[in-house]
Structure 1
Amino acid sequence: MKVLLLASGRSKRAKPIEDKNFLSFCGKYLIEHQIEAIQNAGFEEIILIGGAHNMERLGEVAKKHNTKLIEQEDLNEGMAGALISAKLHTQNDDIFVVSSNDIVDPEAFQLMHKAASGSADSYILAYRVHEYFPGGYLTLDGNRITGIQEKPGEGNEPSDLINLVLHIHKNSQSLFEKLENHSSENDDRYERALNELMQEKTVEAVSFEGYWQSVKFPWHALSLLDHFLSQCQTNISPEAQIAETAVIKGKVTIESGAKIFDHAVIQGPAYIGKNAIVANNALVRSSIIGQNSVVGYSTEVARSLVGHDTWFHSNYIGDSVIGDNCSFGAGAICANLRLDEKEIAESSRNKLGATLGDNIRIGVNTSLMPGVKIGSGTFIGSGITIAEDIEPQKFVYGETTLTIKDNRETLDPSARNAMMSSLKKD
């Protein structure tokens, strides 16, 4: 059986995150976590499917994990196009289709590996929900799937099982024929082919109630942060440098070359990447700090995902996703809570900071309001408030109007002397 791991999506809804496959959690890219879970479940041959935008980076991953890599030429063809691009590499083999958008507990891959030995023609991982989810619901006849109903509306669900894109198809030739016979402008060719297959073949549900997170929007990275940190164990490299007065609490991983300075506090679960620095009096809690990043003096990073080569200088970073090679001037903050404490945008979160792409600079004393998104390559000047999303490659600055007049006030030396005297008495 060959695994087709679909990683050619352009992460449009996740912007300003450049490519969600390369979000880094605990020292590994998200796509690497998926590959390892698939391999550990017993699937030996994986074909990564990428696009022109990420082939170079996927190539490095494929080489590292001994997987094949192919390119989807026309990304507008969606999932169907990705599968058809792999047709020549499957040779009518059984295939296991996995979307990089669906992050599941490794148990899910083990369940699918076990199901593959059954007699059905296809198997779909069916996730059991306990409240309405706007996705594809399975219509069932016993354990046989007879159809998928997209977003039926609350109260109209045909079952409590939704479709996750972990699909096994035996004799893939039949599926490819149906894909090639369908055309659609709505990017639903695979779904149409699948529904047709259900009328002719036996497609069974593999029920699953473990961890699942769909990765579509920027704030989903914070849900994944919680998931990966929940698996964090205490592991401090002997090659890390920890000051005697630093405080390490809970389950914390600190990689080689990292430096934790005097009076810094790391409150687990937390992950500090290779060669990262946590400076004096800084606080890192429930966060991941990427390699070569610097958490400067008196900075607090809380419940945030920080990429590689990013620098902070006396900042507050709360509930935020910060990309690679970003820099915050002193006093810049990511606000994370509305004054009315209501949910922020469509995130269903009442605490949500900023999401930054890569290669961004934030000037001193600038405030990023809750939920704002800053595109890659943007520079933001000092002393301003950003309360709206900023597109990539922008330079943002504000004008300060100064009023200058003669100073007619005089200082009374006795006032300062009186204050000093009271301090000495205390």
Structure 2
Amino acid sequence: MSIQAVILAGGEGKRIHPLGVNKPKAMFELLGKPLIQLVVENLAEAGITDLIIITGPNQEQIQAHFGDGGNFGVKIQYAYQAEPLGQANAVQQAEGLVRTHFFVLNANDVFEPRLLQEVMNRAQAGGANLALVGRKVSEPWRFGVMRFDSSGRLVGVIEKPPRGQEPSDVAVVGVYYFSPDIFQCIRDTPQGQTDDQFERAYQLLIDRGQAVHVEYEGLFESYKFPWNLLTINDLLLKQKIQGRQISPTAKISELAVIGDNVVIEDNVRVFEHAVIRGPAYIGAGSVIGNGSMVWGGCSFGPGCVVGFGSEIKHSIFGRNVWTHRNYVGDSIISDNCSFGAGTITANFRFDEQPIGVNVGEQRLSTGTDKFGVIMAEGCRTGCNSVLGPGIKVGPNSIVGPGVTLLHDLPPNKVALPSQ
């Protein structure tokens, strides 16, 4: 049976602010590739090459990157979700392009390709019109949780049940397999006041006894908040980088130290006494300067410069990020940012409590006691500035020399030292 896939890429990305201001959420790059490209590659590896990408406003970058998909070994068509009216509405936009059973996936989820084959095998063996993927979790009250009858048959999904009242510890993972019947189910399900139309629509297929579930224990991570990127990066580094992979065009000093599980792309230069401890990915044309150190799991986009004496630990750099005598730890730095000499990103609290980050009107815990800065595109820092843990810097903003920044800086603003 020929299978299609619908990739949902039209979300607004409010929870990842400020990273999604100038770049679609799905186009954030890790290991030299946008997240959505990793999803496309997983589908192609599973033999699913007929794809539909749902985009939204200001997401032309996605279509510009993929075109018709020919360069990626797939065929891609596009549908457009004009307003953010939820997951069910996004899926509906693909109805005119879907001809057969199909997957629905989020553009920014990371998983193993074998998951897709396992779902297809299970669904086709059971003649199902719906297959849900479940994963055992330690805090099921935070998720949609599967409910089973006494025989182990899937009979429903309870969204974020009260703690202690969960019907199981198996949470729904965002990989779905449908027949085209789901479109009529969506039409039969009113939108309502809560954002659960999608779940209520596929419950109709469960009620008809047409659903199966697949329990999955492999790699899976969703990019919902900025700090999820560090976890995703760790997983990808572990999964995709084995041994040293050094381009023949890279120039590496004999006095540099390159550890195991390191990728160094074309035209990278690594100078004397620099240290790169794996796992690490160094993008094309980057420079790792004298006496600098890269360690703890780093991913750099192309054109980055780690200047003399800098230490970069467990961080993600976009394209063309420049540092000079800096410490950057557990941080996410987007494209075209530069750090003045002596800038430090603090990543640890005196009380050793988990780092919090402002998300909309809420203060959310990152769940870790080591987390640095979230910096959007085009930012600069002056010499000897300090950025506190969990601070967000909006695009095209400047942290002046000598400033200790302990609050978020909105887009296009300048923080100057007090006079």
> TM-score, normalised to structure 1's length?
0.90
Q: Distance in 2 between matches of 1:334 and 1:292?
A: 21
Residue 37 of structure 1 corresponds to which residue in structure 2?
A: 42
* 1:96-245 to 2 correspondences below 5 Å: 96-118=103-125, 119-141=127-149, 142-170=151-179, 172=180, 174-181=181-188, 182-231=190-239, 232-233=241-242, 234-245=244-255
Task: Letter of the 1:136 partner, please give it.
Answer: G
8 Å contact 1:143–1:204 — kept in the other structure? no
- The number of residues matched between the two structures is 397
Among residues 256, 274, 292, which one is paired with 2:266 in the alignment?
A: 256
For 1:219 and 1:2, locate their aligned partners in 2 and report how far apart those are by CA, in whole Å: 31
Q: Does the alignment pair 1:394 with 2:413? A: yes
Paired residues of 2:10 and 2:81 also in contact (CA < 8 A):
no
Q: Which of the pair has more CA radius of gyration? A: 1
1:301 pairs with 2:312? yes
RMSD over aligned CA atoms reads 1.5
Q: Deviations over 1:319-356 (max 9, x none)?
A: 00000011111111111000111111110100000011
Alpha-carbon shift at residue 207 of structure 1 (Å): 0.8
Q: Select the residue among 42, 51, 63 that pairs with 1:46.
A: 51
Contact 1:256-1:274 at 8 Å conserved across structures: yes
Structure 1 counterpart SS, 2:276: strand
Q: Say whether the 8 Å CA contact 2:52–2:79 is kept in structure 1.
A: no
2:359 maps to none
| CA distance in structure 2 between the aligned counterparts of 1:356 and 1:81, rounded to whole angstroms | 32
After TM superposition, the score normalised by the length of structure 2 is 0.91
Task: Tell me the distance in 2 between the aligned counterparts of 1:361 and 1:69.
Answer: 39
Specify the code of the residue in structure 2 equivalent to 1:177. Q
* 1-structure distance, mates of 2:227, 2:246: 29
Structure 1: gaps (5+ residues):
401-426
Query: 1:370 and 1:56 mapped to 2: Cα distance?
Result: 31
Partner residue of 1:352 out of 352, 355, 371: 371
Q: Separation in 2 of the partners of 1:133 and 1:307? A: 35
* 1:215/1:221 contact within 8 Å kept: yes
Task: Give the Cα–Cα distance (whole angstroms) in 2 for the partners of residues 11 and 264 of structure 1.
Answer: 37
Q: Secondary structure at the match of 1:230?
A: helix
Aligned positions of 1:60-75 closer than 5 A: 60-62=65-67, 63=69, 64-65=71-72, 66-75=74-83
3-state SS of paired residue (1:76):
coil
- The residue type equivalent to 1:263 in the other structure is H
2:61 aligned partner, one-letter code: E
Question: Residue 17 in 1 paired to residue 19 in 2?
Answer: yes
Distance 1:387 1:289 in 2: 26
For 1:72 and 1:180, the matched residues in 2 are separated by 18
Residue 361 of structure 2 corresponds to which residue in structure 1?
A: none
Match of 1:375 in 2: 394
| Residue 86 of structure 1 pairs with residue 94 of structure 2 | yes
Deviation at 1:74, TM superposition (A): 2.5
Q: Work out the CA distance in 1 between the residues paired with 2:58 and 2:175.
A: 24
Return the letter of the residue paired with 1:114: N
Q: Which residue of 1 aligns with 2:362?
A: none
Structure 1 contact 144–202 (Cα < 8 Å) conserved: no
Q: 1:147 to 1:132 in 2, by over 3 A?
A: closer
Structure 2 residues not aligned, in runs of 5+: 357-364
In the alignment, residue 84 of structure 2 is paired with which amino acid?
A: N
SS at match of 2:401: coil
